[in-house]
Amino acid sequence: MTPFVSRIVITVVLVPLVLGAVWLGHWWMFALVAIAAALALHEYWLMARPLSPLAPAGYIGVALALVGAEMSGVSWMLAGVLSTFVLAFVLKAISEARAAATAAISATVTGTLWIGGGLGFMILLRDIPQHGRLALLTLLLAVWAGDTFAYFGGRLLGRHKMAPSTSPGKTWEGFVFGTAATIFVAFVALYKQNFLTIRESIVLGVVLALAGPIGDLFESLLKRDAGVKDSGNLLGGHGGMLDRLDAFLFAAPAAYFAILAFTS
């Protein structure tokens, strides 16, 4: 099976599963996010192996963050993330490994904050009263559209590299295509939904159009340090779980706080 065909097959299988969990919400959504978090963390530990991350502390911290997000909101989610620092310190203190404590603890906390926090905000978006389903669906559809149009726009017309040393495949032409698609999808998804105004919908689209590519570039930096092209091969032509989540891990927090600013 070619990478392109495997991308289509994986998309056909996963998209209905993800949309179904988002539609049902609550513990269905939590279960999907928890599985994605565990897989993404595993890929991250492998990439960060030279830094000797303290994986048990990260898994516990992410679990606490996701449960906190589902049960009590952003404050307890943050508490779960921050618990990783203490857990990592304790594990490092009793460990016999000679790896530098600063690197090991920093790598552990970074992975927990990045993955657990990013996915936690997806739970928080879904739990927004009355409009949570719409908010999360808008995030998913807008970022997917932006990623797709950026890819094809870059392949067709890309000439100017956006970040040559970090992600050689990304171009400014692709970014323009992706930005237009993201803003358009956000506008259409929220149009006449009695949630955000037209202006707010467009601003949200701009926020997602910026946050998504930044999240993608952040993972590209980590992959460059690790010397790998993809975070894994779990999803065939799509790469690993982190390769599919990277944009959302930055876009979800950005969307949550943008919507909070609009509706508070």
Q: What is the pTM of this model?
A: 0.92
| DSSP secondary structure string for all residues of 5-49 | HHHHHHHHHHHHHHHHHHHH-HHHHHHHHHHHHHHHHHHHHHHTG
Question: Each residue of 10-41: pLDDT tens digit?
Answer: 778 888 899 999 999 989 999 999 999 999 99
| DSSP secondary structure string for all residues of 149-210 | HHHHHHHHH--SEEETTTEEEEEHHHHHHHHHHHHHHHHHHHTTSSSS-HHHHHHHHHHHHH
Question: Each residue of 67-95: pLDDT tens digit?
Answer: 999 999 999 999 999 999 999 999 998 88
Half-sphere exposure of 94 (CA within 13 A, CB side): 6
Give residue 96's pLDDT.
75
- Written as six digits, the tokens of 199 are 């202006």
